[in-house]
């Protein structure tokens, strides 16, 4: 039996977008929430590579991506991330939005290499943190612990979305303030 081929990690390219979108949907299925995943290739292309010339969005991408590719340069895993900022440390960090490796490529080191790539970016740029959230039942917790990741139980996530988000945003209009963006 031959050893699995170790994938190569590289920045995502526009031609990788359909495969990454498909894997995002696979991840949503795995996390038992496929009905909540609405990502399209157009949205991801705009987020990673900048919007088209008629868009009202800023031209610089705010999302970054890396892919693990097989020997045919086909994506078998991905990491989508963006910069955050620690006011206490005074420097940026990386927030890993999603990490996913297709089942057939698990055990090849793809996940570890994707995380190592982001850790390398942090070290080279002087960022102090690489952070992510994980669904509480995900068996990857053991893998994360094996690479030295700490489970942070003292921080509790909060989220505004849907009607609550719109209601709070309406407060800007009723209070007569301007966001300036």
Residue numbers annotated as active site: 144
CA atoms within 13 A on the CB side of 159: 3
Residue 52: how many CB atoms within 10 A of its CB?
Answer: 11
* 33: its two tokens: 């929430």
Cβ-based neighbours of 90, under 8 Å, separated by 6 or more: none
* 110: its two tokens: 């793809």
Q: How far apart are CA 124 and CA 92, in angstroms?
A: 12
Residue 48: name the closest of 86, 88, 11 by CA.
11
Cross-strand pairs, 17: none
3-state secondary structure 64-115: EEEEEECCCCCEEEEEEEEEEEECCCCEEEEEEEEEEECHHHCCCCHHHHHH
């Amino acid at each position: 039996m031959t050893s699995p081929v170790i994938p190569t990690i590289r920045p995502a390219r526009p031609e990788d977008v359909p495969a990454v979108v498909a894997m995002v949907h696979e991840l949503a299925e795995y996390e038992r929430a496929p009905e909540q995943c609405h990502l399209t290739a157009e949205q991801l292309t705009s987020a990673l590579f900048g919007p088209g010339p008629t868009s009202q969005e800023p031209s610089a991408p705010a999302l970054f991506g890396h892919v693990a590719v097989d020997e045919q340069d086909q994506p078998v895993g991905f990491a989508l991330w963006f910069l955050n900022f620690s006011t206490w440390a005074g420097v940026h960090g990386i927030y890993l939005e999603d990490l996913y490796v297709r089942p057939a490529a698990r055990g090849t080191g793809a996940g570890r290499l994707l995380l190592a790539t982001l850790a390398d970016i942090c070290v080279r740029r002087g960022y102090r943190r690489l952070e992510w959230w994980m669904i509480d039942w995900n068996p990857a917790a053991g893998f994360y612990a094996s690479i030295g990741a700490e489970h942070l139980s003292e921080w509790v996530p909060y989220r505004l979305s849907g009607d609550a988000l719109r209601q709070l945003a309406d407060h800007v209009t009723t209070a007569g303030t301007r966001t300036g963006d």
